[in-house]
Structures are given as C-alpha cells and as structure tokens.
C-alpha cells in the first residue's frame, strides 16, 4: 500500500513541477507548485515525518505560496512576454537558454550516475526506527537542546527579523 502511494505521490510531484516550468501564466505556476508541495507532504508522511508534512502544508503551501499569489495578483502581469528587441536576442535567445537546459540535463544525468554507483544503498530503516523519528517530543528535545540546535534556532529569529525589515524597506515607495 505504501509502495503504491509512494509512486503515485512522486508522479504527482514530478508532473506538477514540470508543468510549473512549462506554464507561461505565473498564476497557474504558483497553484501547481502548491500541488507539488502537497505531494511532497504526502511523501514526508510515508517517511514517518508527519510533523514536517504538517509544517510543509501550513508554512509552504499556506504562507509562502500565498505571498507569491499576492505578488502575482498585485503586479498583474498575466503572461510572459515573447522575446523582443536587442537585449532579448542577445541574452534570452535560443543559444544561452538551450545551453542552460543542457546543463540541467547534465546535472540530472550526473546525479543519476552518482546514485547508480552507490549500489543498493542503505535501507530506509525498520518500523522501530520510524517510530523513533516520528516523535514530535524527540524533535522538540533536540531542537531546543543547548547541545543541539538551540543557538541555530535563536539565530533564525534574527534572520526572520532582518528579512522582515529588508522586505519592508525594499518594497516601500520612495517618499520625496
């Protein structure tokens, strides 16, 4: 049963991600990214990481993607312009973009090659291991432990504050 779910969810994630970069309308792209993230949340549940799955849905699909949607609606640029003019031909022409696509295919092939060299690889662990990983209590104890990630957690708050102030300063209208 889990196997069927895994292949179903990974197919949804891959197809949705492919459609994201095939769309010309950014609105559809954002909605398809939410579909892809939902499929990934299902994969996290299969990996006994239910808390990460919930966080993924609430924060990624719920907050970050809504931010994207707001910007898409605010800017009101429905579709991508076809390339025109000198700069479009110079930078956005077929040559550099084809090279970029070839580079990403090369990256995919290299990653596949590296993974096939790994052989069978380690297993995903047994049921007991899954129970150890799925405990929210264990995550909290490790996250707020001084020997663990307490410092990184506090540093994160500074990062969020800087991002908040930066976003306000950047998006503010210049007052003369």
Binding residue for another protein (CB under 8 A) from 13, 57, 95, 146? 13
Contact between 73 and another protein (CB under 8 A)?
no
Contact 54, 12 (CB under 8 A): no
Compute φ and ψ for 132, nearest 5 degrees. Answer: -65, -35
Contact 49, 72 (CB under 8 A): no
Contact between 151 and another protein (CB under 8 A)?
no
For the purposes of burial, counting CB atoms within 10 Å of the CB of 158, is it exposed (0-12), middle (13-18) or buried (19 or more)?
exposed
Quick one: 120 or 146, whose CB is closer to another protein? 120
Binding residue for another protein (CB under 8 A) from 62, 73, 88, 95? 88
- Nearest approach in angstroms of CB 145 to another protein is 10
Instruction: Tell me how far apart the alpha carbons of residues 65 and 156 are, in angstroms, rounded to a whole number.
Output: 20
Near another protein in 26-45, by CB under 8 A: 26, 29-30, 33, 36-37, 40, 43-44
- Nearest approach in angstroms of CB 143 to another protein is 5
């Amino acid at each position: 049963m889990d196997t069927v779910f895994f292949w179903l969810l990974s197919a949804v994630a891959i197809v949705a991600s492919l459609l994201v970069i095939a769309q010309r309308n950014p609105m559809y792209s954002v909605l398809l990214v939410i579909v892809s993230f939902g499929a990934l949340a299902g994969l996290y549940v299969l990996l006994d990481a239910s808390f990460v799955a919930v966080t993924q849905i609430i924060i990624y699909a719920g907050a970050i993607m809504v931010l994207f949607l707001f910007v898409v609606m605010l800017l009101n640029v429905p579709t991508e312009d076809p390339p025109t003019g000198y700069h479009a031909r110079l930078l956005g022409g077929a040559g550099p973009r084809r090279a970029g696509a070839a580079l990403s295919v090369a990256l995919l092939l290299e990653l596949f090659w590296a993974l096939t060299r790994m052989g069978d690889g380690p297993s995903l662990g047994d049921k007991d291991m899954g129970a150890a990983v799925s405990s929210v209590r264990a995550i909290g104890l490790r996250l707020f432990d001084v020997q663990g990630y307490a410092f990184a957690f506090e540093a994160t708050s500074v990062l969020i504050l800087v991002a908040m102030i930066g976003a306000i300063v950047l998006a503010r209208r210049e007052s003369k």
